[in-house]
Amino acid sequence: MKITQYSALLATVIAIPAMAQQWQTLPETPPTPKDNPTTAAKVALGKMLYFDPRFSSTGTVSCNSCHNVMLGGEDNRPVSVGIKGQKGGRSAPTVWNAAYLSVQFWDGREPTLEAQAKGPVTNPIEMGMESHEVLVKQRLQAITGYKPHFEKAFGSGDVVNIDNFAKAIAAYERTLITPDSPYSRYVKGDKKALTTQQIAGMEKFSKIGCGGCHSGGAFAGPEKPLGEGFFMKFPTFTTSNYVSKYNLAEDGGRFEATKKEADKNMWRVPLLLNIALTAPYFHNGAVQTLDEAVRVMAKVQLDKDLSDGDIADIVAFLNSLTGEFPEQTMPRLPATPDSVIADIN
């Protein structure tokens, strides 16, 4: 496997005997754009913005509504619910460890967390603000208590703007990482960190071919520079009954963003860290349980029928990918001015 100089310095990589792939743990810190170095002030501001529902048109939906950091980083719904009870078209991906992905959204249409943070606020189904300009003027700048926090994070001048809004949220999201899973301790040398069944599942995960897509420290494919995604076709074997049962091919995936025929049913490979906490599964949230998700993936991606024993072992291994979650506390938000109260609809 090709490993960048960055990951070679920071990732722990070992070869497990009798296995076809190498096993990596997460780098200690995620990649960060040069124009947005992480600082404590940015993280504190970003956390406030992340939890604040006033950046939706109705004042009811925040980033945390769909990507709940008190849970597995999503909302355990097939598709998320936005303003006025509207339902989106795809399941919310987890925000935990998303900083290690080289592109964002299921279809990889945005290159960074910064770019991703700007999208939901103006999506008519999600947060429903009319435009970024309206968001800045009628919410960010109107809630005057935010200004000192923006100045602390970005300096003086015209710093309360959409770019810094996104940079602050991204800085906070880069703190949302879950190291020290049983799997990572095992890879680092603690041979008692996994159970006998989990080790068996680890071997089957490799032997069956799951690692062809789910490789690297985040199990989301090989490391790529920010903006250069790792995509795979899903479903691959379209004659399987699972394809129609779970409507797996109905959504065109990356094609919906690029309109290129070659991108039909292509998807950014999702990470598997904490996968046991993020049911239901797949881009449409159609599969309720992890064992069924493993069964379906084996058939529609590898054309393999797994026994119940194989599935139980692989699921046991996947449970070992749940890491330690840093404690999250609710931030204190600036007071709501009368003008913002009147604007919320």
Name the residue among 281, 254, 277, 278 with its Cα closest to residue 265. Answer: 254
Evaluate the omega torsion of the peptide bond into residue 337 and state whether it is cis, within 30 degrees of 0. Answer: no
Beta bridge partners of 81: 87
- The verdict on domain 5-28+183-319 having CATH code 1.10.760.10 is yes
Pairwise CA distance, residues 340 & 318, whole Å: 45
Sign of dihedral through CA atoms 287, 65, 115, 339?
positive
Cβ atoms within 10 Å, residue 155: 9
Annotated catalytic residues are 126
E runs forming strands in 135-269: 231-233, 266-268
Cβ atoms within 10 Å, residue 114: 23
Are 40 and 326 in contact by the 8 Å Cβ rule? The answer is no
Pairwise CA distance, residues 156 & 150, whole Å: 8
CA distances from 51 to 44, 54, 69, 119, 141 (A): 11, 9, 10, 16, 17
Per-residue pLDDT of the chain (345 residues; tens, 9 = 90+): 333 333 333 333 333 333 457 899 999 999 999 999 999 999 999 999 999 999 999 999 999 999 999 999 999 999 999 999 999 999 999 999 999 999 999 999 999 999 999 999 999 999 999 999 999 999 999 999 999 999 999 999 999 999 999 999 999 999 999 999 999 999 999 999 999 999 999 999 999 999 999 999 999 999 999 999 999 999 999 999 999 999 999 999 999 999 999 999 999 999 999 999 999 999 999 999 999 999 999 999 999 999 999 999 999 999 999 999 999 999 999 999 999 999 998
pLDDT at 20: 52
pLDDT at 1: 37
pLDDT at 345: 83
Sign of dihedral through CA atoms 230, 288, 237, 16?
positive
- Residue 292, token pair as written in the block: 């069924």
Residue ranges, comma separated, of all CATH 1.10.760.10 domains in the chain are: 5-28+183-319, 40-176+326-343
HSE-up (13 A, CA, CB side) for residue 212: 11
Instruction: Kindly report the CATH number that applies to the domain delimited by 40-176+326-343.
Output: 1.10.760.10
What H or E segment, with its residue span, contains residue 301? helix 290-302
The answer to whether the pTM exceeds 0.75 is yes
Evaluate the omega torsion of the peptide bond into residue 280 and state whether it is cis, within 30 degrees of 0. Answer: yes
| Cβ neighbours of residue 46 closer than 8 Å, sequence gap 6 or more | 167, 168, 169, 170, 171, 172, 173
CA distances from 215 to 11, 20, 212, 310, 344 (A): 13, 12, 7, 19, 45
Give the SS3 label for residue 81.
Answer: strand
Exposed/middle/buried for 44, CB within 10 Å: 0-12, 13-18, 19+? middle
For the chain, how far is it from start to end, CA to CA, in angstroms? 52
